[in-house]
Every structure is written in structure tokens, then in C-alpha cells.
Chains A and B, each alone.
Chain A
């Protein structure tokens, strides 16, 4: 079981309020990603759930039990840290066995569980090495092994992939997703990378300045962002925003449209501009078009488009896919 409920969770560091008030209900077995710009309080929120920080106010309830004042050990959660936090003086075997040893499990049972975890993570050949002799990806696996052995009620991940190179990151992303499908245990995953969030999550929590901006499925966030912040944060390249008379036309304070929802023409269109950057990625081409009327717009076209730096083009938004925002930033 791993149902985690946050009620009016509030946290201050000294005089600085990091998390004003957060309510969340994370269902058993759900993969939830906390995403937001750096300093938005996502890691703090995770550490509060872990019990590594004290609550200033509010409650954390795990499976119906109020654990607000419990030590991390009592909460039976497992955590994978950004730096992996492996014990440098212990072998891989001892690292993975550590939580079981702490729980006072008999040695033969520990051995069995460690072997099983090592096998599922391809670590059997490395059991007698110390972490210092492992590659980044292997360390990551040991950290995960240490987390899964004692079957916690939920896993907490604190930016676990940010120290890996790009290729490895994609692999580990898939491995963690597979792991979740296999174990069906609640996972809470913190990242600043919205691609990780979109690809892995059942539901995403978008945080800004300690406030939950939106809590929903990846496609909800993409299609129906509740405000300008979420609209700008989810999606890559970022959404274009335009104010003024173009927005008035749509009865809004500001309008936004995604790069993939725009058309580019060399002959006619809504706004005229000059291509200041042309990124040909093969499958896609991103154009940064400098217009006189509405500043620089980014568009996403297919890879075949024959437009280069310095060309004059006309760009138009797809009017069906326009997001409208009020003066308060909320979606209309």
C-alpha cells in the first residue's frame, strides 16, 4: 500500500516561507512527478514526505496513518538521491543489504533478497566492489537496488538522473518506468526536466514558488493548462505568448500558441519576420522568427522545410489551438 495524502503542508526555513500550503492526494500505485523550475520547493516537498525535514504546519498521512512526527525510519519509504548517496566504505552487496540489516532481518533471508535485487538490476558481477569502482549508471542501479530490497510502501526519487549523460538518462528513464510497471508501488519523482515528467508520470504536479499550480495527467497539462505558467513550462520548445491587439481579437489579455501549432509560409501569413535562427534537427526544424509586430516567435515545422537564416517568412498560428489567458494569468 502506498497512499500518500498531504494536508495543508506548510514549511518555513527560518523566516523564509518555502511552501505556503500544499494539499495533495497520491493514490496507491501511482507514478507522480513533481516538476518545476529550480527553487520551486519540489525537493523540499519530497524531503518533507521522506521525513528528512520537519513540517512547520499541516499533516502527512501515509495509508491512513498520520506520520507527520515520525522519523524517516518509521515511514517505510525508500529514497534514491541525486548523488546516489551510496555508502563508500561498503561493498555493493552491503549497500543493498543495509536497509534489511537495519530492519533486523535474518542473514540468510537478506542474502536471498540481495541476490534477487542484484539479478533484476544486472549487478551480480559487481557485488563485491565498492561504489568508487562503479560507473555512474551502475551506481544508480545500486541506489535503486538498495531502495527496492525491502519493498517499501513508496519510492521517492530526487532528481536521480541528473548526474548521468544523455544516452544513459534515456535508458534509465525506461528502466525506472518498467520497474514501476513491475512493482506497481507508488513512486514520487522529482525533476526539473519536463521531458522526464511527461514521459514517466501518471500524474504531474507542477510547482512554482512552493505552490501547486496544477496536478493532472501529462496530456491534461499539455492540452488544458490552467494558467500561463503551466502553459509556458510544459512543452518544448516553449509556447509563444502575444499580448496587445492580437490578443484583443481573441477576447483575451494574452494569447499563447505552441510552436507545433503554427504554419510557416514564404508568401503570406499573419506576421512577417526574418529567420534569426534555423535549427535543422532532421525530423523537425525549429525556426526563430524575428517579427516587427510581436517580437521573436518560435515555430516547429517538419524537417523538409527549405528556410534558412536571414530568409523572410510569414508565420500564422493555428487558430483552433490558441490558448487564452486573462490579466491574472489564468486560462480563460
Chain B
């Protein structure tokens, strides 16, 4: 498809989406930057004006800020660690000859299709509730004290819920990648006298590198913006113990109506995401070309 006619035509066909995405990227971001330098609170809309770096200073010096950054990173890395390690192990397991593999796969993949508010509420009420939850009953059965998950370990509880949602995704992708592993390569390694562990380390793992990169990229995109799970379980608390950056900005904007402050927070979130993105996009770009 390399004649001038089709070339021009296809440029035109590509334009709408480029323009839309460009506007989508530039206009709101520009406005956020503008607002971030404004004194602007919806409760006191008459007191507006240029505010310099005040919003940023105010946002960053908020004691909750560093906690939110830490929580964001912990949430992302915690879920990534669980889902990738778990995904590799489960992938290996499901790649074995198993009776009823189709049904087992459905059992494993299902949590991925559950909307975040539903999964968070099931976990919060029916599993992690300190009095009526299943975990409490199990603890009692063994004679231990039930844990009040969202009061004692709020962030870890959220990590568990989110990991439950994303483990199926990682498992499915890594399982698919394993199934495309060259059988002859495995047999060649057998002939070369490689042990099961050596085969995993030298053949399976390098083969999975690409799939793992993709899982990290996709999950990170979604995990940086975890919101609903926090909203319906802890509301960011107790205190700010489970507030991530997304929730903190939401809190500023829609609960405190502090447009300027929330915008500054939004810009900080964008910068953080971009730092992560630069590394990821590079890694993925390299991996996808191969």
C-alpha cells in the first residue's frame, strides 16, 4: 500500500484520533497547570488570583503528602510483586496436565471481570469484617483474635484486594506466554542435562521477560490510579494511612473544593507517572520491537 493516493487518504484517516487525543492531552493538562497557580476555592470563588507556588508548597508540606506518595508506590509495587510472582507460579501450575483445566482457568480468571466497587465491598464486608467476616470466623476457629483489617493494616488490606483483582490477569498472560515456549528448546535442554530448576532459570524465565514487561506496563497504568477500592473501604483512612496520591487529590478537589490545591496535586501526580512511564515505555518499546 504505497501509492500516493492511498497515502494521502490514510493520513486523513489518522487525523481525527490524533487531534482528539492531542486535545484530550493538552487542554485539560494546560488548565490543570493554570489552576495550580491560582488561588481558587469553589467555596470562596470571589477570592481568586495568581498564587505563585503557594499551592505546591501547601500541597507538598501537607504531612499527608509524603505518606500518599509512599502509599502510592507501596500499592503499585506490592501488587506488582504479588501478581507477578504469583502469576509465574500459577502459570507453571496451570501449564501442567490438569483434569478440567478449562474450568480451573475460569475459576482463576473470574476476579478480573469484577468491577472494583463490587470486589472491594465483598472483601470489606464478607471477608474482612472483624465480626462477621469469613477471616474472623477462621481466626476464631483456630482460637486467634480476629484482625480488624481496615483499622490495623488498611494499606495491606487494599493491596490484597487489588492483587486479587490483578493476579488473574498476570496469570493468564504468563500462562499464554509459557504455552508458546518452544518444546524443542526444552527437549534440547533435557538432552544437555539441565535440571528442572536450571531449565526454568535459563529458558522459561528469559522467554517470559517480554510478557512480564507487558504485565508491568499495563498494571502500572491502572495501579497508579487506584481509587474506587479506597473510596468504598477506608476513605483513605484511618487518618491518611491508606490515602494514595489519586485519593488525596480527589479529597482536595471534590471534598474540600480547593481547585488550586488539587490542581497542584494533580500536576505532581502527572510528574510521578511520567517518571515511571519514561522507564516503562522504553522497556516496552524495546521489547515490542523484538
Contacts and interface: CB of A to CB of B under 8 A. Distances in A.
Please determine whether chains A and B interact with each other in the same assembly: yes
Interface of A: 51-54, 71
Nearest to A47: B2
A51 B3 CA distance: 8
B188 interface: no
A124 to B, nearest CB: 34
Interface of B: 2-5
Contacts of A53: 2-3
B2 A52 contact: yes
Contacts of A54: 2-4
A53 B5 CA distance: 11
A51 B6 CA distance: 12
10 contacts: A51-B3, A52-B2, A52-B3, A53-B2, A53-B3, A54-B2, A54-B3, A54-B4, A71-B3, A71-B5
B160 to A, nearest CB: 46
A53 B2 CA distance: 5
A258 to B, nearest CB: 41
B141 to A, nearest CB: 58
B38 to A, nearest CB: 48
Contacts of A51: 3
B71 to A, nearest CB: 50
Nearest to B2: A53
A54 B2 CA distance: 7
A54 B4 CA distance: 7
Contacts of B2: 52-54
Contacts of B5: 71
Most buried by A among B2, B3, B4: B3
Nearest to B5: A71
A113 B100 CA distance: 52
A70 B3 CA distance: 10
B88 to A, nearest CB: 35
A16 to B, nearest CB: 13
A52 B5 CA distance: 11
Given A53-B3, A54-B2, 8 more contacts: A51-B3, A52-B2, A52-B3, A53-B2, A54-B3, A54-B4, A71-B3, A71-B5
Task: Enumerate the 9 nearest inter-chain pairs by beta-carbon distance, A residue then B residue, closest first.
Answer: A54-B3, A53-B2, A54-B4, A54-B2, A53-B3, A52-B2, A52-B3, A71-B5, A51-B3
A199 B220 CA distance: 60
A53 B7 CA distance: 11
B11 to A, nearest CB: 15
B201 to A, nearest CB: 38
Nearest to B4: A54
A109 to B, nearest CB: 31
A54 B5 CA distance: 9
A318 B2 CA distance: 51
A77 B201 CA distance: 55
B23 to A, nearest CB: 31
Nearest to B7: A54
Contacts of B4: 54
A54 B3 CA distance: 5
Contacts of B3: 51-54, 71
A316 to B, nearest CB: 48
A194 B3 CA distance: 31
Nearest to A53: B2
A71 B3 CA distance: 9
A261 to B, nearest CB: 45
A67 to B, nearest CB: 13
Contacts of A52: 2-3
Q: Which of A52, A53, A54, A71 has the most CB of B within 10 A?
A: A54
A110 B5 CA distance: 30
A52 B4 CA distance: 10
Contacts of A71: 3, 5
B150 to A, nearest CB: 54
A56 B5 CA distance: 14
B4 to A, nearest CB: 5
A71 B1 CA distance: 11
B137 to A, nearest CB: 56
A54 B1 CA distance: 10
A292 to B, nearest CB: 42
B56 to A, nearest CB: 46
A14 to B, nearest CB: 11
A202 B12 CA distance: 46
A55 B4 CA distance: 10
A43 to B, nearest CB: 13
A54 B8 CA distance: 13
A185 B5 CA distance: 30
